[in-house]
């Protein structure tokens, strides 16, 4: 999906830094005070997905109470689960809860409709998910998404795009506090860098391993279903499965298989280093789901989590409010720690490493300092394939710099050149 392709995710770094910096500055103001970890990280991840995907600001860090979207979303999810388990006649009798359910659903719909209306009223050329949904067309049929469909997609991305990631970060901070030697190693890794840029994130191997190990022990979406499509089969252990039978995969159990994981109950990020993660048996680590329905937002969530955790570790000493706190799980659509609170104390002056700029591309030493006149340039065609967005972005970059070398470049898809590849230009 181009909106979540590698280049698109990389381009979201400044917006992610924008929101993560708000978290850091908020924690600086409340240094030494009790912090509700899940609440703060829910604010972080909701604001991040809204800004990156829809250029919309919830501004939850400037609100003293839980954002209405979060409350309405939680109410709808909980009530939906209950309604699915009750007979229809019982649901009709639950007048008060039904009224609240419809009120919260209507609010979610109205918010998303307003986001779409505002973009249609004030269009821009931002290459975000919302513009892709509004302007995108099926290449074969020309079909475009209706506003109603876009509304439902926005709700899906807002919910799925923040709940699991806030849980991941919350569990990660818990495990770091429970394992001070891991916390110390993580801070030593981030302290090697004076500022955190998009390129630095790729060098944080130990912090990356911490996130992977956290998801092994506490996959925030803890299960999914699969079915046999090939007919009757016998699973290891002699379990007979018929075609289209539903099988529930429970990730907390899968991720603790002693045949795969040495001392599976221990939090050991080192098991994910030095090729350990790459050598895992197939399907032994599945926190992002399975197959075609696996999470398409995985790269987005990973970059967001790396950045937020790196900034937190860079700027703060962490401690439990209650040193005797043991992990309790709260279940909604996903899982997250229940009652987890901590305090932070600054390690250094805030602002020292809050930079949102990405690394700049250096011009070739051979490139001329000025562009030639357009009419003097030779024609050139740059063709790209793939539909994830990376190839197109690279092709457009090449075309934009072609004039420095005496070419006037056009950009097209490889499919468009089938049968009539240009022969009068490179």
pLDDT at 368 over 50: no
Residue 103 token pair? 């009120």
Closest by CA position to 70, among listed 32, 36, 38: 38
Could you list the beta-strand ranges (E) of 211-346. 223-227, 233-235, 239-241, 246-250, 316-320, 329-331, 335-337, 341-346
- Give the max Cα distance, the chain: 78
pTM of the model: 0.83
Flag whether pLDDT at 214 surpasses 80.
yes
Instruction: List pLDDT tens digits, range 235-272.
Output: 888 889 998 888 899 999 999 999 999 999 999 999 99
User: Counting Cβ atoms within 10 Å, is residue 127 exposed (0-12), middle (13-18) or buried (19+)?
Assistant: middle
Contacts of 355 (CB under 8 A, 6+ apart): 17, 195, 196, 197
Backbone angles phi, psi at 314, to 5 degrees: -65, -35
- Residue 18, C-beta contacts closer than 8 angstroms, at least 6 positions apart: 51, 356
- In this structure, is the dihedral angle defined by the CA atoms of residues 144, 146, 149 and 153, taken in order, positive or negative? positive
pLDDT band at 366 (very low <50, low <70, confident <90, very high): very low
**CA–CA separation, 191 vs 353, rounded Å?**
11
> Pick the catalytic residue: 193, 277, 288, 320?
288
Question: How large is the average pLDDT for residues 66-93?
Answer: 89
Provide the β-strand partners of residue 413: 384
Helix (H), strand (E) at residue 79: helix 68-85
45 in active site:
no
Q: What is the pLDDT at residue 350?
A: 54
Q: Is 164 a catalytic residue?
A: yes
Strand partners, 238: none
Backbone angles phi, psi at 71, to 5 degrees: -65, -45
Query: Exactly one of 105, 193, 277, 295 is catalytic; which is it?
Result: 295
Does the pLDDT at position 397 exceed 80?
Answer: no
> Has 52 been labeled as part of a binding site?
no
Residue 408: in which H helix or E strand, if any? strand 407-413
**First and final CA of the chain: distance in angstroms?**
29
User: What mean pLDDT comes out for the span 82-91?
Assistant: 90
| Residue 310 pLDDT greater than 70, yes or no | yes
Distance of alpha carbon 366 from alpha carbon 71, whole angstroms: 57
pLDDT greater than 90 at residue 418: no
**In angstroms, rounded to a whole number, what is the distance separating the alpha carbons of residues 35 and 345?**
11
Which helix or strand (DSSP H or E) is residue 412 part of? strand 407-413
Is residue 157 annotated as part of the catalytic site, yes or no? no
CB 20, CB 52: distance < 8 Å: no
Q: Active site residue: 45, 48, 60, 164, which one?
A: 164
49 has a pLDDT exceeding 60: yes
Confidence band, pLDDT 50/70/90 cuts, at residue 364: very low
Contact 264, 271 (CB under 8 A): no
Mean model confidence pLDDT for the chain: 89
What distance in Å separates the CA atoms of residue 100 and residue 102, rounded to the nearest whole number?
5
- Element housing 37 (H / E): helix 37-54
Question: What confidence category does residue 389 fall into, taking pLDDT thresholds of 50, 70 and 90?
Answer: low
Structure letter (DSSP) for residue 50: H
Q: Is the pLDDT of residue 390 over 60?
A: yes
| pLDDT attached to residue 113 | 96
Percent of the residues in the chain that have a pLDDT greater than 70, as a whole number: 92
pLDDT at 77: 86
3-state SS class at 252: helix
């Amino acid at each position: 999906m181009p909106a979540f392709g590698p280049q698109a995710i990389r381009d979201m770094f400044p917006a992610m830094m924008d929101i993560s910096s708000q978290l850091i500055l908020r924690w600086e103001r409340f240094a030494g005070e009790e912090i509700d970890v899940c609440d703060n990280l829910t604010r972080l991840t909701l604001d991040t997905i809204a800004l990156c995907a829809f250029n919309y600001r919830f501004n939850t860090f400037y609100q003293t109470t839980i954002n209405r979207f979060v409350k309405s979303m939680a109410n709808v999810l909980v009530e939906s689960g209950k309604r699915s388990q009750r007979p229809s006649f019982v649901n009709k009798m639950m007048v008060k809860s039904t009224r609240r359910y419809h009120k919260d659903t209507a609010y979610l719909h109205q918010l998303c409709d307003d986001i779409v209306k505002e973009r249609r009223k004030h269009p821009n050329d931002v290459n975000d998910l919302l513009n892709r949904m509004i302007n995108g067309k099926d290449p074969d049929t020309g079909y475009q998404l209706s506003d109603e469909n876009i509304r439902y997609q926005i709700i899906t991305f807002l919910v799925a795009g923040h709940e699991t990631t806030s849980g991941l970060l919350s569990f990660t901070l818990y495990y770091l506090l429970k394992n001070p030697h891991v916390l110390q190693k993580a801070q030593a890794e981030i302290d090697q860098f004076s500022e955190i840029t998009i390129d630095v994130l790729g060098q944080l191997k130990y912090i990356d391993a911490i996130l992977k190990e956290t998801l092994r022990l506490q996959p925030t979406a803890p299960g999914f279903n699969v079915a046999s499509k090939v007919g009757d089969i016998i699973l290891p252990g002699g379990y007979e499965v018929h075609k289209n039978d539903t099988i529930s995969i429970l990730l907390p159990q899968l991720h603790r298989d002693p045949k795969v994981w040495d001392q599976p109950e221990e939090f050991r990020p080192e098991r994910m280093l030095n090729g350990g993660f790459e050598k895992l048996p197939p399907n032994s680590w599945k926190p992002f789901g399975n197959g075609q329905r696996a999470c398409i937002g995985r790269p987005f969530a990973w970059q967001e989590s790396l950045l937020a955790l790196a900034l937190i570790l860079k700027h703060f000493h962490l401690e439990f409010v209650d040193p005797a706190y043991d992990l309790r799980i709260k279940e909604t659509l996903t899982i997250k720690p229940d009652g987890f609170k901590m305090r932070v104390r600054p390690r250094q002056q805030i602002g020292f490493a809050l930079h949102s700029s990405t690394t700049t591309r250096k011009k070739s030493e051979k490139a001329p300092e000025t562009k030639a006149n357009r009419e003097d340039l030779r024609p050139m065609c740059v063709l790209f394939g793939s539909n994830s967005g990376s190839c197109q972005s690279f092709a457009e970059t090449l075309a934009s710099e072609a004039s420095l070398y005496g070419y006037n470049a056009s950009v097209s898809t490889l499919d468009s050149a089938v049968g009539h590849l240009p022969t009068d230009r490179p």
